[in-house]
Amino acid sequence: MHDDSMRLWRESPVFKAVCRAEMDELRNSTPSVQAGIIATADGFDVADVCVNDTYSPARLSAMASSMMALAGAVAREVEYPNCESLIVESSGGKTIMMSLPGTDGRLVLLVIADNSASFGMLLMHARQCAHRIQKRLNLTTDGAAES
Amino acid sequence: MIEHKIIFAGPTGAGKTTAIGQVSERPPVSTDVINSDARYNKATTTVAIDFGEITLDAGEKLRLYGVPGQHRFSFVWDIAARGALGVILIADNSLPEPMKELQFYLDGFASFVKSGAAVVVVNRLETHPSPSQEDYVNMLIARGTPLPVCACDPRKKEDVLTVLDVLLTVC
């Protein structure tokens, strides 16, 4: 009854490596990024790159999945078709959560950034990172299933 | 109008979402997503909250919050529990050690359990008669937190309404 695609991604070294490489690329292009985490829709961490080792990818993944599910419920309540992304603005920085395109909401990208970059640039680079992962995910889905 | 907030907690698959769905006047707010955890034989699982509403004959309005069962979502429990009148803890008697599993939720909602603002509900007692309702009562007395224990099928509206009635009586 459970869905195996998310578990296979979670357990695939190839898939994790691809996610980490693309999130590293995001960090290189946008130094304000403090962490990138890929989480499953049901709250497991798949891959992470964290500058700050006090962050817990496991806890943040559970929280990101809850937040995306709640945001999706808000969208449904007002009869919008879906929730693509969610932004937490704070004096300390910004947190962006977005559905990874092409995964039917099964994976979430969480980006944590300080306030040193403009928000527009941050959002654009985060989206580009998500699309790069999608592209490579399509290439590696079979590999992930075999790993 | 008097309004109360009630929490439904317990292990994954115990019937929290089902119970709220049975009694809510409007389709509940759902945050169920696809389940990838092979330990649970279910297609979807709640990752944030379920939310339903019900108005009782006396005009009281109950706001029903269901929280995820998995331990990794325990942060949701604290958020949902703020301002709640009481907690309904659903045990799943089909689990290998249902009373041991329940301890985690008794601890997670300790302030409600200690003050008596909680009811323990045992699901799947008909198909899995052991431990018995009396075993639960004795376990709760032994740990110093006596609470009412009800047998309940969360798929039956009358059962869920009875449990809500018991909780309102003790709170």
CA A18 to chain centre: 13
Q: What does the pLDDT look like over B112-164, one tens digit per residue?
A: 999 999 999 999 999 999 999 999 999 999 999 999 999 999 999 999 999 99
Segment A103-130 shows an average pLDDT of: 94
C-alpha closest to that of B3 among B73, B49, B63, B80: B63
Tally the C-alpha atoms within 13 A of residue A59's C-alpha that lie toward its C-beta: 7
Mutation site, A2, A11, A60, interface B, largest B CB count within 10 A: A2
3-state secondary structure of B127: coil
**The domain A4-140: what is its CATH number?**
3.30.450.30
Question: Residue A66: which of B34, B35, B76 has the nearest Cβ?
Answer: B76
Could you tell me the pLDDT band of residue B59, with boundaries at 50, 70 and 90? confident
Query: pLDDT of A68-93, one tens digit each?
Result: 999 999 999 999 999 999 999 999 99
Task: Name the band, by pLDDT with cuts 50, 70 and 90, for residue A143.
Answer: very low
Residue-level length of chain B: 171
* Chain B residue closest in CA terms to A7: B36
Contact flag B68-A67 (C-beta cutoff 8 Å): no
CATH number of the CATH domain containing B14: 3.40.50.300
* Terminal CA-CA length for chain B: 18
- C-alpha to C-alpha distance for B48 and B73, rounded to whole angstroms: 8
Closest CA to B125 of B140, B117, B135: B135
Q: Is A82:A63 a contact under the CB 8 Å cutoff?
A: no
Q: Is residue B81 scored above 80 in pLDDT?
A: yes
Domain that holds residue B161: 3-170
pLDDT digits (tens, 9 = 90+) for B6-19: 999 999 999 999 99
Residue B72 and residue A59: Cβ atoms within 8 Å?
A: yes
Q: Which residues of chain B lie closer than 8 angstroms to A43, CB-CB?
A: 47, 70, 72-73
Contact yes or no for A133/A16 (Cβ under 8 A)? no
User: Which chain A residue is nearest to residue B39, measuring alpha carbons?
Assistant: A2
Which residue ranges make up each domain of chain A?
4-140
What is the complex's ipTM, to 2 decimals? 0.87
Q: Is the pLDDT of residue A141 over 80?
A: no
Considering its fold, how many domains does chain B have in total? 1
Q: Whole-number mean pLDDT of chain A?
A: 90
Entry field: residues in chain A = 147
